[in-house]
Structure 1
Amino acid sequence: MVSPSSTPEHAPAQGRAETPIAFIQAIVAAYAQRGLDAGGALEKAQIEPKLLKKNNTRVTAMQMELISAIAMQELDDEGLGWFSRRLPWGSYGLLVRASLTSPTLGLALSRWCRHHGLLTEDIQLSLSERNGIATLQLDEVRDLDVFQEFCVVSVLRNALGVACWLTDSRIPLTATHLRFAPPVHADSYRVLFDGHTHFNAPTNALQFDAGYLALPVRRDEAALQQMLQRALLLTVRPYRRDRLLVEKVRQTLAQYPEHSRNADDLAAWLNMSARTLHRQLKEEGASLQELKDAVRRDVAMMQLQRTSRPLKQVAEAAGFQNVKSFIRAFKGWTGTSPEAFRQQQLR
Structure 2
Amino acid sequence: MLSVQNSLTVPAHFLHGMLHWVRVRHGETAVARVLAAAAIPAAFLHRPEARLTRQQYVALYRSVAATLDDEMLGLWSRPIRTGTLKYLMLSLLDAPTVMVALNRFVRFWNLLLDDYRLHISSKNALLRLALVERAPGTPVAPLGHVLMMKLIHGIASWLLGREISPQRVEFSFDRQEQMDQHGLLVPGEVRFNAGITSIHFAYDDCAQQFKREKHELWAFLKRAPEDWTFSAVHGASMAARAREYLERRLAQAVTIQDLAQALHTTVRTLNRRFADEGTHFQAVKDALRRDIAVHRLANSNTSVAALAFDLGYADATGFCRAFRQWTGSSPAAYRQDARQDARQGE
Q: Which bracket does the TM-score occupy, shorter chain normalised?
A: 0.5 to 0.7
Structure 2 spans left out of the alignment, 5+ residues: 236-346
Cα distance in 1, alignment partners of residues 234 and 26 from structure 2: 43
Displacement of 1:33 in angstroms is: 2.1
* Aligned counterpart in structure 2 of residue 158 of structure 1, from 147, 151, 163: 151
One-letter identity of the residue aligned with 1:95: L
Q: Deviations over 1:142-193 (max 9, x none)?
A: 6675x71110011110111011111112111211110111122233133222
TM-fit CA distance, 1:237 = 0.9
Q: 2: CA distance between counterparts of 1:182 and 1:32?
A: 25
Change (3 A) 1:210 1:97: same
Which whole-Å CA distance do the structure 1 matches of 2:53 and 2:122 have between them?
Answer: 35
Supply the RMSD in Å over aligned alpha carbons: 2.3
- Flag the structure with more relative contact order, 1 or 2, with Cα contacts below 8 A and sequence separation at least 6: 2
Q: Separation in 2 of the partners of 1:195 and 1:77?
A: 28
Alignment of 1:302-341 (within 5 A): none
* Structure 2 counterpart of 1:233: 226
Q: 1:80 Cα deviation (Å)?
A: 1.0
1:55 and 1:139 map into 2 onto residues whose CA distance is 30
TM-superposed CA distance for 1:102, in Å, is 0.4
How many angstroms apart in 2 are the aligned matches of 1:165 and 1:121? 27
Q: CA deviation at 1:70?
A: 1.3
Question: 1:49 maps to which residue?
Answer: 42
1:33 maps to 24
- List gaps (5 residues or longer) in structure 1: 1-13, 243-347
Given candidates 155, 163, 167, the residue that maps to 2:160 is 167
Aligned residue for 1:173, secondary structure, equals coil
Partner of 1:83: 76
Residues 1-347 of structure 1: pairs in structure 2 closer than 5 A: 15-16=6-7, 18-36=9-27, 37-141=30-134, 145=139, 148-239=141-232
Amino acid at match of 2:217: L
Q: Which amino acid aligns with 2:102?
A: L
Larger Rg: 1
For residues 193 and 228 of structure 1, the distance between their equivalents in structure 2, rounded to whole angstroms, comes to 20
Moved over 6 A (4+): none
Partner Cα separation in structure 2 for residue 170 and residue 241 of structure 1: 10
Between the aligned partners of 2:60 and 2:45, the Cα distance in structure 1 is 14
Equivalent residue for 1:290?
Answer: none
The alignment-based identity, stated in percent, is 25
Alpha-carbon shift at residue 219 of structure 1 (Å): 0.7
3-state SS in 2 of match to 1:59: strand
Assess if the C-alpha contact under 8 Å between 1:104 and 1:216 holds in 2: yes
* Aligned length in residues: 228
Q: Is the 8 A contact 1:82 1:144 kept in 2?
A: no
Looking at structure 2, the residues matched to 63 and 183 of structure 1 have their Cα atoms a distance apart, in angstroms, of 24
